[in-house]
Amino acid sequence: MSELASGPVNGSHSNGAADVMSDGEIPYDYDLLVIGGGSGGLACSKEAAHLGKRVAVCDFVSPSPQGTTWGLGGTCVNVGCIPKKLMHQSALLSEAVQDSEHYGWEPHPNLKHSWTKLIEGIQDHIGSLNWGYKVALRTAGVEYLNMKSSFVDPHTVACKDRKGKEVRKTAANFVIAVGCRPKYPDIPGAKEYGITSDDLFSLPNPPGKTLVVGASYIALECGGFLSSLGFETHIMARSVFLRGFDQELAEMIASYMEDHGSNMIRQCIPTKLEKLDSGRVKCTYKHLLSGMELSDDFDTVLFAIGREACTNTLGLDSAGVRVDMETGKIDAEAEQSNVPHIYAIGDVLLGKPELTPVAIQAGKLLAQRMFGGGTTQMDYVNVPTTVFTPLEYGCCGLSEEVAATKYGEDDIEVYLSYFKPLEWTLPHRDDNRCFAKIITRTSDSERVVGFHILAPNAGEITQGYSVAIKCGMTKEHLDATVGIHPTIAEEFTTMAITKRSGRDAKKTGC
């Protein structure tokens, strides 16, 4: 790694004025200026401040086309993981209410859901987190600049507040942690009449009949909880669901959602949105195979077709930072851009997982290497994640498709099992809709290279097993582990059927 403007990355980094002197002996304002106040940027800034450095965080949220904005904390806290999981929990409670009668509970005659109360609760919680982040920065000694920044030169940024007042700040080092924002399709009416996940979690009125455009995890998560909350929900997918994930499980998710109330509009794309006199939005769309043009009216149209890096207004060309022309993301080696004192972490990095815990860990480790003599690099391999669809999908490692391509089909073994959680038996819910899969590499002592589960609480289960995968878990380790009965997680300790065998992996009994 190249040297920083104010000292070596892995060597000693002295405190004092030397840290903030430019070539012309004019002191910089900061040792480190972090652009972006999301999870990664906050973690990096606080770690650097803890190591005795002068640090500032510059964060500004540009309103969505619908005018939505939010406070400090980034996507995860405000319009991502946190409100999404709370919406998911509300949807799960809907299922629990339906199941409860089978467990002896008398149904409540006046039980109904209030969208307004849910939104108020979520926004109150988010507000408390926004305040907590401000306090945490103040406590750590990090200066918070609620301003939009762009590079003027490699060591200077122009910062503008909401009123347009500009100040210039200099720093010896920069970390870009601006993340991504949702994309809109290039069709008439998209930005005028459509919304994205930036707007959904603060929507003041119930969404009503909703069209979700997209096949991403955001599309399926949002479509899933809206359907479970009782709203007529349609999900329009151009091609495959959950591209990049294991496609066997992706299709299982889509099938489960379709069987439980979500309407799937496959192989179609929207071509136009129009506002009707009734207040509804008319969506005209095209079937890709037949070319047939169709239309339907909705109360809400939600786009979840991907995200784009927020780099186009940063003035990175003025700093000499190269970005990928197609995505706008920064191609960095060990989070270091082609300009040695400018770094990037989180979703803005090219080819790295767009996950909050990844940004947090990378930010902390980067600050330790920059200012604390640390040497540990961020490990982007075997990062666990969960898609919070109605039936959760947790995974760690490779999909079956990627494993077969990487190692060859003859060098992998795929173990699988269908099952039904005990909790589903009294309500007589679906048999064999839950699914477990592990992919092992035969020539490497059957080391587990892919872990996949479709089941309730998949996130909790995957987090535990991901530790073992990091430690090199093999099929023998799983076979030697005594399961906890009756649990879902024990399924992985008894898997004996391989896909290659052709045997039926469905089961009955406990």
Q: Are 439 and 413 in contact (CB under 8 A)?
A: yes
Query: Which two three-digit tokens encode residue 446?
Result: 């059957």
Q: Are 329 and 323 in contact (CB under 8 A)?
A: yes
The span from the CA of 326 to the CA of 316, in Å, is: 15
The span from the CA of 418 to the CA of 503, in Å, is: 12
Burial 328-356 (b: 16+ CB within 10 A, else e): bbbebeebbbebebbbbbbbbbeebbbbb
Is residue 485 annotated as part of the catalytic site, yes or no? yes
Which residue in 102, 428, 477, 485 is the catalytic one? Answer: 485
Query: Which two three-digit tokens encode residue 267?
Result: 């192989």
Query: Parallel, antiparallel, or unpaired: how do β-strands 55-58 and 30-35 relate?
Result: parallel
Rg (CA), the chain: 25
Q: For residue 425, what are the contacts with CB-CB under 8 A and spacing of at least 6?
A: none
Burial 396-413 (b: 16+ CB within 10 A, else e): bbbbbebbbeebeeeebb
Report which of 390, 241, 231 is spatially closest to residue 301, judged by C-alpha positions: 231
Q: Are 213 and 303 in contact (CB under 8 A)?
A: yes
Angle subtended at Cα 369 by Cα 319 and Cα 52, rounded to the nearest 5 degrees:
90
CA 37 to chain CA centroid, Å, is 16
Active site residues: 485
